[in-house]
Amino acid sequence: KNCPIVEPMQGFEMSKFLGVWYAIEKTSTASNCLIYNITRNQEPGSFMIQQNSQHFALGLTPLKHEYHYEGELHVPDPSIPAKMRIKFPLSIAGSAQFTIFSTDYVQYAGVFSCQTLAIAHRQSATILSRSKTLDRIYLEKLRAKLTAFGVSPFDLSTISQVQCPSNDEGVDINIDKDTFSAKSIANVLRKAGEKIGDGVETALDATKKLYHSITSSEDHSASEIEKRSEEKQAQWLP
């Protein structure tokens, strides 16, 4: 099955789109406090995108536990600047479409990503805001556009931007093209385990897929964590 056809925004200007965006709604995500920061790269038509978030499993603890996940954006056709390709280190299937279908640059934006696989595709829609909240009129506008493209807005999950940790104590997990390796990520997650208690198990297979399995704790049982894991499958697609 092919990716839905989502039309890129006409007259898009990337220079106005750069900077920090807060994710308000996103397709089936397990993350909270999800923020994107887009900056220029040295090469023309190339940009860096950093995704900062909290993972729901580590969110069972009061410590800060931020993921800093850095990828690259590339504009294949300069005449269609809103239609890009995006590549993150953990995306073993390669790059994905990254289409900005609507934005006013100062309040809201709508982004659609899709990655073609061998026998299917995986897709993700994200509604962004320059602030931690977004007026309903803009939410409805972007949802309506997704519907017109054949993308169900009912698959979107609300992302909390409240009670996001601001203290410096906790765990920072940085993943980018230069530092990514099975060994380095396993080491970082072991350190995370030391912060949040015993029972953190990390498994990385040969394809470098990343999974987290956290056993029972004093406040949260293993069955509760397993249930939340099933309900919210983390996606590495922006």
Position 106 pLDDT exceeds 80: yes
Question: How many whole angstroms separate alpha carbon 57 and alpha carbon 213?
Answer: 8
Lowest mean pLDDT among 1-5, 115-119, 200-204: 200-204
Instruction: Evaluate the CA torsion angle 196, 198, 199, 205 in order and state its sign.
Output: positive
Q: Does an H or E element contain 183, and which?
A: helix 182-196
> Global pTM?
0.71
Q: Please give the angle made by the CA atoms of 123, 234 and 67, to the nearest 5 degrees.
A: 115
The torsion angles phi and psi of 223, rounded to 5 degrees, stand at -65, -35
Position 191 pLDDT exceeds 60: no
Q: Region 228-235: what's the mean pLDDT? A: 38
Residue 183 is encoded by which pair of tokens? 């060994």
Location of structure tokens 């504009």: 75
What are the residues facing 105 on neighbouring strands? none
Lowest mean pLDDT among 36-50, 85-99, 135-149: 85-99
Output 113 or 235, whichever has higher pLDDT.
113
- Domains defined along the chain, listed by start: 14-175 (2.40.128.20)
Output 167 or 68, whichever has higher pLDDT.
68
